[in-house]
Copies of this chain bind each other. A is one copy, B any other.
Amino acid sequence: MRIGVIGAGAWGTTLASLVAARTETRLWARELEVVESVRDDHENRPFLHGFRLPDELTVTNELDEALDDVDVVVVAVPSQHLRATITAARPLVPRRATIVSVAKGIELGTGRRMSQVLSEVLVDHRPDSIGVLSGPTLAREIMGGQPAATCIAFPDLARATVVQSLFMGDAFRVYTSDDVVGCEIGGAAKNVIAIAAGVADGLGYGMNTKAALITRGLAELTRLGVALGGRPLTFLGLAGNGDLIATCSSPYSRNRRVGEELARGRSLDDIARATQTVAEGIKTAPALLELAGTVGVDLPISTTVDAVLRGDVSPLEVVPLLMQRSPKAELQGLAV
């Protein structure tokens, strides 16, 4: 098996490193400095500083080299760049290749999930060959050899099993699913909830508040996911709850940190300037609300986060706003 990984951010690089020693793996990086750093020093200094990458990992700046005769393509670019990147790559993607999206976001303007963008662009591909890998997988912890578990979803469960066996290792456990929609909505929406969790952290709130935010956040992303065709129980799993918990709790979570900095009074521009990497939740918030509007689902936490990001609501008001809603039955609005 030959694998091409498109995108050499922290997560693309980590996934490529997980399999490079076992099977031929080619990592495509947009940035020449990443190619040089990986090729010359076996390290991705810009995005994954401090970790030695496997010698077997091949890196390139050329899409045709990365995609030549591959069986599996892992797409690991920021969600708002995915369409452009995969459009450029399209003539080079082998027709029978299995495509795995690991980008977590919703496309602004179209409200499309990442696998939908891939289907639209890769018109010659069977839709059931396009799936997603999603779960609580903070790249630096996995590079450090810490145990983690994630979910691989394809409409065709047999493809999920192939990718499962490819990535499964002693410290990296992969579960299969056939709920692509559920996994993708979980992965995208959690980045927005994480900003709210970061705000709570920045204001000094403790674990009750955090747990309530995560739980109510899960309820809202489940409502949305179910309205879009996902299965409720997917949201109990690694790509829903698991990823949400890790992203809302880890000191390394970029989205959580954005919320924390906002709560401490920094502006969004300031925060963006200070960080190299993308906090997907910033762009996902408006895209998610657009998408929720099309199916008539109310997302109170995401709406509040979006208002904070726009500067319409002060971070100080986030928790009180969410606490003062009218009394409700817990699972109201969920299609049980």
A interface vs B, CB < 8 Å?
A: 135-138, 141-142, 144, 146-149, 151, 157, 164-165, 168, 170-171, 173-177, 205-212, 214-216, 218-219, 222, 231-238, 241-243, 245-246, 249-250, 252, 319-320, 323-324, 327-331, 334, 336
Contact (Cβ within 8 A) B149 A231: no
Contact (Cβ within 8 A) B141 A242: no
Identify 8 residue pairs between A and B in the complex whose beta-carbon atoms are under 8 Å apart, listed by A's number: A146-B208, A147-B323, A176-B329, A211-B243, A211-B249, A214-B242, A218-B236, A219-B237
- Please give the distance in Å from A77's CB to the nearest CB on chain B: 22
User: Residues of B contacting A165 with CB < 8 Å?
Assistant: 327
User: Residues of B contacting A238 with CB < 8 Å?
Assistant: 211-212, 215, 330
**Copies of this chain, how many?**
2
Q: Which of B141, B174, B211, B327 interacts with A164 by CB under 8 Å?
A: B327
Contact (Cβ within 8 A) B246 A149: no
Contact (Cβ within 8 A) A250 B177: no
User: Residues of B contacting A319 with CB < 8 Å?
Assistant: 147
User: Residues of B contacting A216 with CB < 8 Å?
Assistant: 149
Bound: A233/B222 CA distance, A: 10
